[in-house]
Amino acid sequence: MRGAVAAFKMEDKAGKVVLTPAWLSRDMDQAEPPVVANGVVFAYGSGENTAQADVDQGLGFNTAANRIAKSTHATVYALDARTGKELWSSGNQIASFNHFSGLSIANGRVYIGTYDGMLYCFGVDSAAPKTSSR
C-alpha cells in the first residue's frame, strides 16, 4: 500500500474517548493530506517517487533526475465524507506529479499544481469532474 485516507469516529467507550475506524479509501500513489468541503473529502495521490538513498542504491540515487524519471502522475479523488465512497477521480487527466504543494478549494472548484508548472482545476459541484488546465 502506498497511502490512503482514513476516517475515524470519536466515540465514548466506558468514559474514555476513542477513535473507531469508519472507512479507508483505495490505495493512492503517495497519498497526501486531504481537504474537506461540503461533505466531500478531496484527496490526492501525488504520484511522486519518494524513494530515499539506501545502502544498495547509494547516496547518488536521491537526485532530481531520478525522482522525476521514476515519478508518475497525480490523481485527485472526491470521496463521500460519511461513507468513503469514491464519487469521482481525475484518472489519468493530470500529466505530472505534485511536489510540495497541496489541494486548494475555492468557488466550487478544487485546484492542484504539478511539477511541470501546470495548474489543474476540477469542478466540484457535480458527480463527475469538469477539468481545465493552464
Q: What are the backbone angles phi and psi of residue 34, rounded to the nearest 5°?
A: -85, 170
CA distance 65 to 62: 8
pTM over 0.85: no
Q: Over the stretch 13-70, which tens digit does the pLDDT of each residue have?
A: 999 999 999 999 999 999 999 999 999 999 999 999 887 766 776 676 777 787 888 8
Regarding the domain delimited by 26-133, which CATH topology (the fold level of the hierarchy) does it fall under? Thrombin, subunit H (2.40.10)
CA distance 3 to 6: 10
**Domain positions in the chain:** 26-133
